[in-house]
Chain A
Amino acid sequence: MSKATTVSLRALIWRRFRRRRVGFISGILILAFSLVLLAADFIAPYEYNQQHRRAPSVPPMLGRIHLFDEGGLSLPFVYGLQRQRDPQNIGLWQYEEDHSQRFPIRIFVTGERYRFWGLFETNLHLFGTGNGVSSPGQLFLLGTNQSGVDLFSQILVGGRLSMLLVALVILISFFIGILIGGLSGYAGGWLDTVLQRVIEITMGLPRLALLLALVAAIPAEGSLLGLNPSTPMKRFLVIAGVLALVNWAPLARVIRGQFLALREEDYVFAAKATGAGGARIILRHILPNMMSYLVVSATLAVPSVLILESVLSFLGFGINTPMISWGLLLKQVYDGFVTNLSFYPWLLIPGIFLFATVLAFNLFGDALRDALDPFTVDAGSQM
């Protein structure tokens, strides 16, 4: 006595996606983290390049946020930082809590000035102590580096830059990939042959070696093809372009394959019979049917591009100061690693963020790929 119900494809995908618990949670985390990154410099309690000369190498203060005082529960507050010389290691500092000074953590405080997304200048931060640079009442959630720059703010702003770069690279390489792969697959004939060879040759080039050579060749001053990459923003754009240049080929190859297959579908013939032109068929019929596939490959491309960008910055050829990225933060740990790793291990925290992001995208992409194929048997239920 079963009642037949129809389930839309979308509902089927959603249902299957929700069943992959790890991937689902990863997706939610990615969404939340992206939202945080969108407002990175507002959420960051400090301007990400501001040096606090009185607070170099402060250990993370996450555990020093107090919720209780003598009178019981209170609003969160921190004690003042008291700096003294380390008796064992010359040149290092130790920090104690100065219990005579209490600084409440407030929300929507005014702090250091920054330009929100480079658009308008403001000094409003989501939270913080709202004290000046020289005050002992500071909230360095994840500590500071040797020049007293707040690591948490750097991680947020650097993460935004990294993810922006990744998004840009994926957009550009998908654009090139769809254009060339689509042209090759849809047109066929000699154009297909030529484009195929181009794709093959591009894939036969040593990716990282070429990438490094290209990025290292971005001149520090002067012009590159009429573009002046000496400003950080333009350097960022050039890096994104170069990354896309070494990334589009594998994508174009599979998109060509998809086009070849979809070209033979009945609805394409039907569209042709009604007199639709090539552009219409591609944009209205073929591309929408490839959408799920494109979304999955975009998601799965994020980790590799993110790692590639970090590697570039880590090797010293990627993002440069005054911009910041996770790879650059880790490069700064490596420069003088004996001191950094021995005494300031919290500087490795950007690595945790990088790893977690890559892991989340891998898990999310895997789950998405499985969910978007609603007619295959669940791998788990085969056992």
Chain B
Amino acid sequence: MLNLMLIFIARRLFYTLFILVILSLIAFWVMQLQPGDFITKHALQLSQETMAQLRQRYGLDQSGWVQYAKWIGGILTRGDFGMSFETQQPVFDHLFVNGNRFGWTVLLTGLTFLFSWLLALPLGIYLATSAYRGTGRWRWRTLIRAVARTARRFAHVFEQQPDARSCRARWQQRIQDTLALLGQLLGAGLRWLFVLLVNGLGIVGLSLPNFLTALLILWLLVAVFQVGANFGLGISGLFDVKYRTAPWNWDKFVNFLWHLWPVLLVVGLANIAQLIRYTRANLLDVLGEPFIQTARAKGLGERVVVYKHAVRNALNPLISLLGFWIPMMFEGLLIAAFVFQLPVVEFAYWRALATEDQYVVMTGLLFFGLVLTLGNLLSDVLLALANPKIRYE
């Protein structure tokens, strides 16, 4: 079993390598499409000697294949991914090390992951198990039925019944009952409204492009709350200017949180919406299965049935969502980084595209391809671990 898995992983790793080779070829070919060699565009920033040196090192005055071979050779032998023409640093430093870009990318991605799953899973489970789990007309009917049921249960409040208790006690009882009735009705209404809202979030979140979310948040912060003038808070970056170089302390942490929430929303909203919908649909499917009926028939509590039997089985297919989740995360973080000027790898990639910093673009493409294929591999392995029925092929 384990052996099979190892072979499977080895094969997939080989496959990843293959994809990277293809990607590097595509990246190189794309860059070759542009007129002139890599350096001519950056003639203003670079001195004559550096240009000659670079031409020599990367073979820029030779044919495309030689250039490609030199680039790949540099990566394999020296770990040299080329040079960023904008900052005149090695690409690896420029893309990952400087300003701790890689660290921030990992941190922001991880936080968004936690945020979206921790928010979406309970909401999805709630939607699938709440009394108003139907759609459209059916939700209305359930609401009306719930109200009618509550009213029936409290019918005795309004009826005159022979009672041995004193008048005062009877009235006390009635007031108590009425309040309880109102409370229950209010609760039903609120729950209904909540289900409606979360369902709306599921649809709206999917239809709201990331950059529109970002613009709306900007509009709220800049125009509606005017956080700059009112509270002296900044919007761009991960910290306000005065904290950027300061060592970590409580104030800086709070400031970080302030800059974090728009990023979480921009990157996570579409993800949350999708997760809510998937969780709800999967759980509803599983809850209709015979083994759930059996579990209920055994007399297990509803909580045990839902969380131990249903949710576990409903979450299995969600693992394969990881594969979709990585590109979504990349797109979201790219937009967030562009709008809020975050020091992450995606922003460096965008900058490199805008300034035609070719080696950075090519390395960036390789990096994103690597992350994507490794993520797919991880999701496949997890899926296989979670569900022994899946064969390795």
Contact = CB atoms under 8 A, between A and B. Distances in A.
A204 B13 CA distance: 13
A355 B269 CA distance: 14
Interface stretch (A68-76, A259-267, A312-320): A312-320
A213 B208 contact: no
Nearest to B349: A209
A206 B349 CA distance: 13
Given A204-B372, A205-B23, A213 B327 contact: no
Contact of B330 (A22, A206, A382): A206
A311 B209 contact: yes
- Residue of A201, A362, A383 most packed against chain B (CB within 10 A): A383
Interface stretch (A3-11, A47-55, A158-166, A332-340): A332-340
A278 interface: no
Contacts of B209: 307, 310-311, 354-355, 358
A214 interface: yes
Contacts of B219: 341, 345, 348
B369 A201 contact: no
Interface in A284-311: 303, 307, 310-311
A233 interface: no
Given A307-B209, A330-B215, A201 B365 contact: no
A161 B374 CA distance: 37
Given A206-B372, A209-B364, A351 B134 contact: no
The B interface, classified by DSSP as helix, strand, loop or mixed, is: helix
Given A205-B23, A206-B368, A217-B30, A330 B361 contact: no
Contacts of B339: 334
Nearest to A317: B353
Interface residues of B, number: 56
Interface string B207-239: 111111001101100110010000000000000
A383 B128 CA distance: 12
Interface in B308-356: 327, 330-331, 334-335, 338-339, 349-350, 353-354, 356
Contact of B33 (A208, A219, A334, A380): A219
Contact of A209 (B18, B223, B330, B335): B330
A219 to B, nearest CB: 5
Nearest to A330: B215
Interface in A164-210: 201, 204-210
A6 to B, nearest CB: 28
A151 B361 CA distance: 35
A212 B339 CA distance: 16
Contacts of A25: none
A67 interface: no
A310 B210 CA distance: 10
A84 to B, nearest CB: 22
Nearest to A216: B353
Contacts of B365: 206, 209-210, 213
A157 interface: no
B211 A380 contact: no
A363 interface: yes
Given A201-B22, A210-B26, A362 B207 contact: yes
Contact of B204 (A208, A212, A224, A359): A359
Contacts of A214: 30
B209 to A, nearest CB: 5
A314 B335 CA distance: 9
Nearest to B373: A204
Given A208-B327, A209-B349, A310-B209, A380 B138 contact: yes
Contact of A363 (B203, B222, B372): B203
Contact of A342 (B210, B222, B350): B222
A207 B327 contact: yes
B137 interface: yes
A359 B207 contact: yes
Interface in B1-50: 18-19, 22-23, 26-27, 30-31, 33-35
Contacts of B372: 204-206
A176 to B, nearest CB: 17
A254 to B, nearest CB: 15
A132 interface: no
Contacts of A221: 35
Contact of A380 (B136, B349, B353): B136
Given A354-B212, A355-B208, A213 B353 contact: yes
A304 to B, nearest CB: 10
Given A219-B34, A315-B338, A206 B207 contact: no
A383 B335 contact: no
A108 B195 CA distance: 48
Contacts of A341: 215, 218-219, 222-223
A379 interface: yes
A362 to B, nearest CB: 5
Contacts of A338: 222
Contact of A311 (B133, B211, B223): B211
B328 to A, nearest CB: 10
Contacts of A355: 207-209, 212
B215 A334 contact: yes
A380 B139 CA distance: 9
Contacts of B27: 213
Interface in B186-203: 203
A208 B23 contact: no
Contact of A208 (B22, B218, B334, B361): B334
Contacts of B361: 213, 216
A222 interface: yes
A314 B212 CA distance: 10
Nearest to A343: B223
Contacts of A206: 23, 327, 330, 365, 368-369, 371-372
Given A205-B23, A362-B207, A380-B136, 12 more contacts: A206-B327, A213-B365, A217-B30, A219-B34, A222-B35, A315-B338, A345-B219, A348-B219, A355-B207, A355-B208, A355-B209, A380-B135
CB-based closest 6 A-B pairs? A206-B368, A359-B207, A383-B134, A209-B368, A216-B353, A358-B207
29 contacts: A205-B372, A206-B23, A206-B330, A208-B331, A209-B365, A212-B349, A213-B365, A214-B30, A217-B33, A222-B35, A303-B207, A311-B209, A311-B211, A315-B338, A316-B354, A317-B353, A334-B339, A337-B215, A337-B222, A348-B215, A354-B209, A355-B207, A359-B204, A359-B207, A362-B207, A379-B135, A380-B134, A381-B138, A383-B133
